[in-house]
Amino acid sequence: MEIAGAIAFITGGASGIGLAIGEALHAAGAQVVLADIDLAGARTAATRLGERAMALALDVTERPAWEAARKAVEARFGTVSILVNNAGIGPDLQPLDTMPPGNFDRLVAIKLTGTFNGIQTFVPEMRQLGTGHVVNTASMAGLMASARLGAYTAAKFAVVGLSEVLRAELAPAGIGVSVLCPGLVATNLAATTEREGITLPAINHPEQGMDARLVGELVLRGIRENRLYIITHAQYLANVTARADGLAAAFADAPNHPGGAIPPEAEISPD
Ligand SMILES: NC(=O)c1ccc[n+]([C@@H]2O[C@H](COP(=O)([O-])OP(=O)(O)OC[C@H]3O[C@@H](n4cnc5c(N)ncnc54)[C@H](O)[C@@H]3O)[C@@H](O)[C@H]2O)c1
């Protein structure tokens, strides 16, 4: 879709990948809303971007706050046509059977339910506009499983599945959907996670991660070309292929029970 003149709403827009997406969209001529639980950070970033940017306080888990955010954006800019559900925290790197349940609940609430809240708030308006695009930030952990990333992986796989469903639902309305699946990116994720009372051991060394600005550029291209999967790290192809091959192999001796056909409107097209 055309970026210039679009109104983009980005959660987790104060920092890291969300901010980089906001910067890329802004540079391409969009008006951008940086929505974040960290209002001070969002304000600093919006001020730096200048005229076509605004900051909003939003905890993506708080449903009533989404409605207030929508009204604030409409009053300032107009109807949102690009939604980026990006806000997130990192994993606590504990095994599923012993991790504190509150860590699991919070991660799922932010990443999965927060994404659903964004869709419920802005997609009905996009349907009325007859155009738009939704980007959901998942992770490479949404395409392959790793031990001790349990809650994170569960939420990210769910976001990939939700995005595939959303794409099938919105294609007839002329609205695109992408799911962003990065590997390690240099951001403030460890500090953000720590703020939630969850210590993220030294997995996220900024110097090892990709420059978030490159991720922002790849997302811009993904929106323009309506790509379903936005992949940033080529080196994980073997892992994802191995998983797909394992799945396919499991079909080899499966019983061929007739019936239960997938309805045609549910078909997924990656292009
Ligand atoms: N950094 C990586 O290596 C990496 C890799 C794959 C996926 N991701 C995903 O990218 C997304 C962005 O993370 P990042 O790496 O840029 O980290 P970051 O900490 O730099 O940015 C995350 C932002 O989300 C905000 N946020 C957290 N909880 C929120 C809430 N409840 N409501 C609103 N805003 C909230 C934070 O305040 C922060 O500004 C996350 O979903 C993360 O899981 C990151």
Q: What is the pLDDT of residues 3-55, one digit of tens each?
A: 999 999 999 999 999 999 999 999 999 999 999 999 999 999 999 999 999 99
- Backbone φ and ψ for 126, nearest 5 degrees, come out as -65, -40
The ligand 1 site (C-beta within 6 Å) comprises 11-12, 14-18, 36-38, 41, 58-61, 86-89, 110-111, 137, 139, 182, 184-185, 187-189, 192, 204, 209
DSSP code of 187? S
- Backbone φ and ψ for 197, nearest 5 degrees, come out as 85, 15
Q: CATH class for domain 7-250+261-266?
A: alpha beta
Q: If pLDDT is split at 50, 70 and 90, which confidence band does 266 have?
A: low
Q: Give the model confidence (pLDDT) of 196-208 as tens digits.
A: 998 876 555 556 7
What predicted TM-score, i.e. pTM, was given to this entire model? Answer: 0.95
